[in-house]
Chains A and B, each alone.
Chain A
Amino acid sequence: MKTKCLLFLAALLMATAVQAKLNIVVTTPDLASIAKEVGGDKVEITTLARPTEDPHFVDAKPSFIVKLNRADALIEGGADLEIGWLPSLLTGARNDKIQSGQPGRILCNEGVSMLEVPTTLTRAEGDIHPLGNPHYVVDPVNAKIIATHLADAFAKLDSGSAEMYRANAKKFTDALDGKLAEWVAKLAPFKGAKVVSYHKSWPYFAARYGLVMDIFLEPKPGIPPSPAHLASVIARMKEENARVIIVDPYLNRKTAETVARSTDATVVDVAQMPGGVKGADSYIALEDYLVNSLAAALQKK
């Protein structure tokens, strides 16, 4: 009887310990990986988009409504990457804690210098993001800003563990600082090298490492490649000596391969979401993979 009582108590304690964790829903796996670094074992992270998925077109599944309904906080990019699916989920979630303006609604682009903020807004230019290009997490310097911002936001929600969140963020940003020097050095020999991408989702990465990415397989963001456009891409690649094409897991690799065959280029599988390529399950592991595989491909030519 006594042991039963103890067991029950232990279970109860464990249950409350589990409840004490912040229940955090994150829209995309890149932000989730940083949130995990900062939150440690004090937060329970649920990610909505899958790492191989096109983050612009995630289905607003009803199961997400349940997750958002029970969340203490929602972490999103804040730059309209999720505009096609998040708003309808929030309507159904009926959770006051994650309404905009609440401390539980965390926008990661706060403090990030956004690139490609359009001066004129017209859908004639394809899918445009009025707040700038939303694929900013892949730049490690932005990851540092996000980590610091998340620590502040978590501290607001759970002041008891504020120290821990800030220490975790510091640890992560320190680790990034160390790696950043290494990554920059690794890609330094390829300064100004041309890299072709499918979608315009890599300007932050290119700017960070001094690569030039101004050739895209898509004629305009979100518009599928036409044969005429691909022909002009091939001509440009030959002319400008571009020998590397990067492809995200959700994009059409066959299109890239076709172009690569006519230009003698290498196709490199990349991802912006940890878990999007095999073996790269954390932010740092992914950046390692990206830098190494690009350096190897650029070396080849």
Chain B
Amino acid sequence: MAGVTVLIASAVGARETNEVEQLQRELRELRERMQSLEEKLNYAATNTASPAPLETNRPTSASASAPPTKVWSPSDPLRVGRGSAYADIGLVGTFAAGGSTAKDIEAGTQLGGHDPNQNGFTVQGVEMNLQGAVDPYLRGNANLLFSVDSGGESFVELEEAWLETVSLPGNFQIRAGQILSEFGRVNAQHPHTWGFVDSPLVNGRFLGADGLRNPGARLSWLAPTPFYSELMLGIQNSQGETAASFRSHGHAHGGEGEERLPFGYRHAENDRGVRHVTDLLFTPRYAMSFDLTDEQTLVMGASGAFGPNASGSSGDTVTQIYGVDLYWKWKPSNAHAGFPFVSFQTEVMLRRYKLGAFDWDENGNGGDNDGDGFVDAGIITDATGLTPAVLAPETVTDYGGYAQLLYGFRQGWVAGLRFDYVTGERATYERAGLLLADGNGGGSSLGRDPQRNERWRLTPNLTWYPTEFSKIRLQYNYDDRRDLGRDHSVWLQFEFLLGAHAAHKF
């Protein structure tokens, strides 16, 4: 100690005062370090003195005595690579079994691409997720979905794969790659987080069987408001099955109803490509949230999706989808394992779709390609049944929504009820008395477009989560489709989760 003092004394003589201060600081730090070491020694002593020393409870593995370095966690048990370039792997397998009175389950009663699609068993999806820090600036995520379609063919989907900035200045964040559009609540969620076996009808109709997702980028900004308030803008490609209301050949699964009639009773074949930035898909969203009380939280959002569609030949047809959503959750402040809780969620959407002009006399031969004097089967004709229909351009309006209530009444048990409703305003082409030619001079009359016709569905269900890593869900759907009738479906869903599982968003 005296030596140190001498050292300091000589330092005072030789150096600037700030260096003395530095030495003093170092000395103080040394003293403190000694103090903390002493404390640790004391801790060990207290342990040995105590009747049940902490040491005896510890496993004899070397890892126990090692400092708590983050090497592995049950939520990310499979870690590949080393150093900072690792990825966490997780797998979610979701399956369904059951049946329906409907003859057209796939794309008929069930509009979601990962809904149960047949009587018997359905692989709803086996989703692999990889995620991790790319470097100090970026985070990466990929969701690969493996599944078996209703015909028994295996397929793979690139559901999502994106990089995201960790901390851009100004509270901005950019996500780029193959991304799910932020539209409402259900669209951006992966199916296994849904409270029901299947996708809401309005999502299936407006945003497509597999949801609105495409390659692109999203910029989001956390506003400097006292409450949570986030503004997002997505810019993505506007074509393909995953942009169903946009530059897509109608619905991915060919449409609803027994007759696979094209949307708007006309083919959507004018995929005009991207000539201008406005030919891309734009999805703005604003979301905000308030804690109403300590036990109640409200999240509200407004979304839009704007882009070109492939209808008609004029090359100027566009689709606009607007949506509002609301989520409310109550959970008492002494809830155990997340139960009990009550949550209410609703989304309402409006779609304005501009249908282009279309002439069913595509080859200029009066629709009689086989030369038998009649309009060929499958061609839509006017009310006389003798001439192919000439459809004028028009903008059609559809709207719909769902509301769902979930009640977690005891640990692991959730009862749910959902109501779905979708409809379209009757358009000119639906009033024109068009016929679907049978090839023999006659035809069946076409009324409301089945892809826009009114329908509703009531869905009660019951879910049991043995743990948060598995679930079994029983669901009943009462379906009422105007002009097509009522159907009953019962589905049993089961799911398991292995490996990493990212914490869910609220």
Contacts and interface: CB of A to CB of B under 8 A. Distances in A.
Given A207-B54, A251-B336, A59 B290 contact: no
A53 B75 contact: no
A113 B166 CA distance: 32
Task: Identify which of B52, B166, B297 gathers the most chain A CB atoms within 10 Å of its CB.
Answer: B52
B459 to A, nearest CB: 25
A86 B166 contact: no
Contacts of B165: 94
A74 interface: no
Interface string A112-141: 111111110101001111111000000001
A133 to B, nearest CB: 9
Interface in A241-296: 249-252
Nearest to B168: A94
B13 interface: no
Contacts of A112: 68
Contacts of B57: 115-116, 203, 207
Given A60-B505, A62-B506, A117 B59 contact: yes
Interface stretch (B39-47, B101-109, B352-360, B442-450): B39-47
Contacts of A79: 68
Contacts of B412: 224
Contact of B335 (A53, A60, A130): A53
A109 B68 contact: yes
Nearest to B297: A61
A60 B166 contact: no
Contacts of B71: 130
B289 A87 contact: no
Contacts of A119: 59, 61, 63
Nearest to B165: A94
B336 A54 contact: yes
Contact of A191 (B51, B168, B337, B505): B51
A281 to B, nearest CB: 16
B68 A207 contact: no
A180 to B, nearest CB: 8
Contact of A94 (B52, B173, B468): B173
A128 B289 CA distance: 33
A95 interface: yes
A23 to B, nearest CB: 14
B329 interface: yes
Given A63-B297, A88-B502, A57 B289 contact: no
A277 to B, nearest CB: 12
B503 to A, nearest CB: 4
Contacts of B52: 206-207, 210-212
B291 interface: yes
B275 interface: no
B32 A117 contact: no
A94 B172 contact: yes
Given A99-B167, A119-B59, A61 B467 contact: no
Contact of B329 (A59, A65, A131): A59
Interface in B449-474: 467-469
B81 to A, nearest CB: 17
A141 B50 CA distance: 12
Contacts of B222: 65-66, 69, 92, 94
Given A83-B503, A84-B75, 17 more contacts: A50-B333, A53-B334, A59-B329, A62-B228, A92-B230, A94-B166, A109-B68, A111-B36, A117-B61, A130-B73, A145-B40, A173-B39, A184-B50, A207-B47, A207-B50, A210-B51, A223-B467
13 contacts: A62-B228, A62-B297, A62-B506, A79-B68, A94-B168, A95-B167, A113-B54, A115-B57, A123-B469, A148-B36, A184-B50, A212-B52, A250-B335
